[in-house]
Amino acid sequence: MAMEDPIMRRLYDSVNWDQDNGLSVEEMQRGLTESQISGIYQPFSQETTRILCVTLDRNRDSKINFEEFCEVFRSLNGWKNVFVQHDRDRSGTMEGAELHRVLIDLGYHLSPQAMGIILRRYSNNNKISFDGFVGCCISLKHLTDGFRFYDKNSDGNATLHYYQYLHLAFSL
């Protein structure tokens, strides 16, 4: 068994208001905000926090246990490194062109129309915060992985029923 990080344990315990075996989305949001991983006084949105919890809740109990909590922070630190590396002007946000370069580096070659949709969804005045970047990356990965499951010939075409589409779209 790996050594437990005392700093992570203190943060986890400080936001586990009801002292049960897991964090709710609200408790997790408080932990992310208090950690200042998205910058000083930059709270994580409830939507991004919810997506993180759904994605990294390995035991599917709708709570984030300590091990999952540590995994969330490992993932966020990886995304933070990518974000900082591509934030060329060091503004703490990304503009559309910076996000487009990141997504290409991550293997997503999107049309201008798709980038426009992403920018409308995740930016504020064409600026993407770290929170929006994380939400975008998780959603894009989820949708891409789901599409690939149905793209049996790996040719960019998928056949799926309406309910399969709904499951894919709403399972985050």
Lowest-confidence range among 12-26, 36-50, 90-104, 154-168? 36-50
| Helix, strand or coil, per DSSP, at residue 150 | helix
Cα 42 from Cα 19, distance rounded (Å): 26
Grouping H, G, I as helix, E, B as strand and the rest as coil, residue 58 is coil
pLDDT of 150 higher than 90: yes
Amino acid at 51: I
pLDDT of residue 44: 83
User: What pLDDT score was predicted for residue 146?
Assistant: 92
pLDDT digits (tens, 9 = 90+) for 82-128: 999 998 888 889 999 999 999 999 999 999 999 999 999 999 988 99
Residue 48: name the closest of 112, 147, 130 by CA.
Answer: 130
What's the pTM? 0.86
In this predicted structure, the answer to whether residue 59 has a pLDDT above a threshold of 90 is no
Q: At residue 69, what are phi and psi to the nearest 5 degrees?
A: -60, -45
Q: 5 to each of 14, 100, 146, how far by Cα in Å?
A: 14, 35, 34
Q: What is the rounded distance in angstroms from the CA atom of residue 111 to the CA atom of residue 31?
A: 36
Q: Tell me the domains of the chain and their CATH numbers.
A: 6-170 (1.10.238.10)
How confident is the model over 21-47, as a mean pLDDT? 81
- Long-range contacts of range 24-32, CB-CB < 8 Å, 24 or more positions apart? 24/63, 25/49, 25/50, 25/53, 27/64, 28/52, 28/53, 28/64, 28/69, 28/72, 31/69, 32/72, 32/76
Share the mean pLDDT of the chain.
89
**Which residues are within 8 A (CB) of 128 and not within 5 positions of it... i.e. 6 or more apart?**
93, 94, 95, 96, 98, 99, 119, 122, 136
